[in-house]
Structure 1
Amino acid sequence: MRRSNVALAGSVAAALGVAAWLARPADSQEPPTLAARAAALERDIARLEDVNAIKKLQRIYGFYTDKQLWSAAADLFSADGEIEVGGQGVYVGRDRIRDFLGLNGPESPQPNRLFDHMQLQPVVHVADDGLTARGRWHVFAQEAVHDEYARWGLGVLENEYVKEDGVWKIRRHHFYTTMYTPYEAGWGKEAIPNPAPSAELPPDRPPTVAYEAYPKAFVVPFHYENPVTSPPPRTGAAVVAGATTPEALETTLAALERRVGLLEDVVQLERLNGIYGYYLAHLQWDDLTGIFSPTGSIEIAMRGVYVGAASVRRNLNLYGQATDDQFGLQHNHMQFQPVITVASDGQSALMRSRALSIMGQWERYSQWMGGVYENEYVKEDGVWKIKRDQVFNTYFVPYTVGWKDVTPRPPPGITASNPPDAPPTLPFEMYPSAFLPPFHYAHPVTGQRVE
């Protein structure tokens, strides 16, 4: 994506050679040529915007299903949308999709239920007409009902998308199960087979593909060819030249510059989110503080709000000293599934993302942490920085215990010896309690708030 955006930015810069062209004598000007270049550039920018919108759509689907928001998830589909999971058959239409998802439990966040489905590793291709698309994703799942079971899940999505009235929707969601295994036994000892179609809610059509999950091997068909040995033809849709006057071209190119800038903002924000995780992993507190705005704040695990660079740096000492010997330290914080909303002026942004952390100390303890971030960002002197860093921890779970048997516990809370500048802004409880971190965005299809 970075290379594509740079290329587009270069194209815009080249196209903006229009200034020199405008200075030429009137009888030597060739506005249709430049107009066609501007139209082609607009098409390419729209393609990248479509890819971003589809990634956002699928990631939002994951955040909705995490919290059993089945109605909101079903509303992401087109009216004729389909869902197929494992060997359970095909369900057609939003109502049927909603009912199928409901086989996983009641609507809305439920106590004692963990249903995290991370949407990872997207490969998205938009059709030349910009109206349909296909996407391949990895899904990494942690599922549990407290005191009953806990399991890991892996699978591959091969999805189809459709743009209706300018809005991207899921046309077909096909989850191919790679593996499900009980947490306690693990995939080296035990595997859960694909479930058969439901007798309680029979599908509308039988499964489209017959296969078995791990330990059997099955390669999910790719919707694309090898991009190196069989590159797609570079045809592209026909481009119709738009503006043809110098003034109209200037207006068009200025708008395209702004759109490229917003695309680049998304790239930079996603990069910043990744950098945050790498600094966390090795207690690089000065570097981590350096990616905050001087007036930024941090609020983690109900420890309260720390405001300003000095307080952010002080907060980070709660997780270990930067000078500590890091032999045996495990503090990996992997940042996944960003849903990024950049303000129209490109000066501020919001991001929902998730973290999966592998934490511990050699011969002392090991644990998992899962959580959801709802962060704010600000652009200062052209550089994106964290304005507000807030994580809602879903769980802290000892590796040797797992989600089925974990003893309920509260978030860490305020440390009296290193107090915050302000109390927690939004109290929450962790699994096995239920909590829905507020979404900063409206539903991308209905436009309604989801609460």
Structure 2
Amino acid sequence: MIVRVSALAILLATLGMPAVALAGDAPRTVEARLQRIEDELAIRRVLVDYSATQDARDYAGYAALFAREGEWVNGKTVHKGREAIHKMLIDLYGAPPPGYVNTESYHISSNPQIDIEGDRARARSRHLLVLRGPDGAPTPALAGIYEDEFIREDGAWKILRRVDTPVMPTPAEWMEFIRKRRPAQ
């Protein structure tokens, strides 16, 4: 017996379709299901690019991941709009020197849970910052939770609102750590 399987069937089986084929969901067309998968993959890419641009100190690339009216929130601190988000990074870390290559840290985003409703989505994920520790050993430094709202803006998924909730260390402990590490200006 010869069984023919389409490329779409293989793609859907490979991805597992957990977000698409939830129990109780109304039947959807193949096109609608494929669109949902493409949307989820695009949002996952934004989550990865968020960490990558931060690690590279590509502040313009980082800010561009946000919608025009996007917000970055941590406790009572809110930075609204791409310019304010860009300035936040410079205030936190300083301007990167020309040819900057990060050999001191990297960010990991994990466990994304993404819910899509048309041109809007919500995501929840975890984050971990790993720093070069004593003798060059990787050392976990900051862990927390991201609660995100996404919007499709000009055909691309953008962060409309990111709430960053540090878990370990506390926000006050983390800001003291940043103050001590930041180069003098």
Q: TM-score range by the shorter chain?
A: 0.7 to 0.9
Matched AA of 2:66 = F
Relative to structure 1, is the Cα distance of residues 314 and 328 closer, same or farther in structure 2, using a 3 angstrom cutoff?
A: closer
By how many angstroms is 1:266 displaced? 0.6
What is the CA deviation profile of residues 275-303 of structure 1, one whole-angstrom value per residue up to 9, with x for unaligned ones?
11111112110111111111101123x36
> What does residue 350 of structure 1 align with?
122
Is residue 299 of structure 1 aligned with residue 73 of structure 2? yes
Matched AA of 1:322 = A
Please give the residue correspondences for 1:132-211 in structure 2 after superposition, counting only pairs within 5 Å.
166=23
User: Counterpart of 1:283 in 2: which secondary structure?
Assistant: coil
Equivalent pair of 2:50/2:62 in contact (CA under 8 Å): yes
User: Counterpart of 2:130 in 1: which secondary structure?
Assistant: strand
Equivalent pair of 1:281/1:330 in contact (CA under 8 Å): no
Q: Find the aligned partners of 1:48 and 1:375 in 2 and give their Cα distance.
A: 26
What is the CA deviation profile of residues 233-280 of structure 1, one whole-angstrom value per residue up to 9, with x for unaligned ones?
xxxxxxxxxxxxxxxxxxx9x832112101110111111101111111
By how many angstroms is 1:382 displaced? 1.5
What is the CA deviation profile of residues 133-191 of structure 1, one whole-angstrom value per residue up to 9, with x for unaligned ones?
xxxxxxxxxxxxxxxxxxxxxxxxxxxxxx9xx37xxxxxxxxxxxxxxxxxxxxxxxx
> What does residue 84 of structure 2 align with?
311
> What does residue 142 of structure 2 align with?
369
- Out of 154, 158, 167, the position equivalent to 1:381 is 154
By how many angstroms is 1:318 displaced? 3.0
User: Counterpart of 2:175 in 1: which secondary structure?
Assistant: coil
By how many angstroms is 1:396 displaced? 2.9
What is the CA deviation profile of residues 45-65 of structure 1, one whole-angstrom value per residue up to 9, with x for unaligned ones?
5x467x242xx7xxxxxxxxx
Relative to structure 1, is the Cα distance of residues 341 and 321 closer, same or farther in structure 2, using a 3 angstrom cutoff?
A: same
User: Counterpart of 1:373 in 2: which secondary structure?
Assistant: strand
Is residue 273 of structure 1 aligned with residue 47 of structure 2? yes
- Out of 318, 321, 325, the position equivalent to 2:94 is 321
Equivalent pair of 2:55/2:102 in contact (CA under 8 Å): no
Q: Find the aligned partners of 1:296 and 1:288 in 2 and give their Cα distance.
A: 12
Equivalent pair of 1:299/1:306 in contact (CA under 8 Å): yes
- Out of 396, 405, 429, the position equivalent to 2:169 is 396
Relative contact order, CA 8 A, sep 6+: which one is greater?
Answer: 2
By how many angstroms is 1:331 displaced? 3.0
Q: Find the aligned partners of 2:81 and 2:102 in 1 and give their Cα distance.
A: 31
Give structure 1 stretches of 5+ with no counterpart. Answer: 1-6, 9-40, 57-129, 131-162, 168-251, 398-407, 414-451
> What does residue 261 of structure 1 align with?
35
Q: Find the aligned partners of 1:370 and 1:310 in 2 and give their Cα distance.
A: 26
Matched AA of 2:128 = L
Larger Rg: 1
> What does residue 175 of structure 2 align with?
412
CA RMSD of aligned residues (A): 3.5
Matched AA of 1:388 = R
Please give the residue correspondences for 1:219-234 in structure 2 after superposition, counting only pairs within 5 Å.
none
User: Counterpart of 1:376 in 2: which secondary structure?
Assistant: strand
Q: Find the aligned partners of 1:362 and 1:327 in 2 and give their Cα distance.
A: 20
Relative to structure 1, is the Cα distance of residues 317 and 303 closer, same or farther in structure 2, using a 3 angstrom cutoff?
A: farther
Q: Find the aligned partners of 1:313 and 1:338 in 2 and give their Cα distance.
A: 24
Is residue 341 of structure 1 aligned with residue 115 of structure 2? yes
By how many angstroms is 1:313 displaced? 0.9
Identity among equivalent positions (%) equals 21
Relative to structure 1, is the Cα distance of residues 328 and 291 closer, same or farther in structure 2, using a 3 angstrom cutoff?
A: closer
User: Counterpart of 1:322 in 2: which secondary structure?
Assistant: coil
Q: Find the aligned partners of 1:381 and 1:304 in 2 and give their Cα distance.
A: 28
Higher strand share: 2
Is residue 286 of structure 1 aligned with residue 60 of structure 2? yes
Q: Find the aligned partners of 2:134 and 2:82 in 1 and give their Cα distance.
A: 32
Instruction: Return the TM-score normalized by structure 2.
Output: 0.73
What is the CA deviation profile of residues 306-363 of structure 1, one whole-angstrom value per residue up to 9, with x for unaligned ones?
11111111111233123347577523111111001011x2x01111111111136899
User: Counterpart of 1:412 in 2: which secondary structure?
Assistant: helix
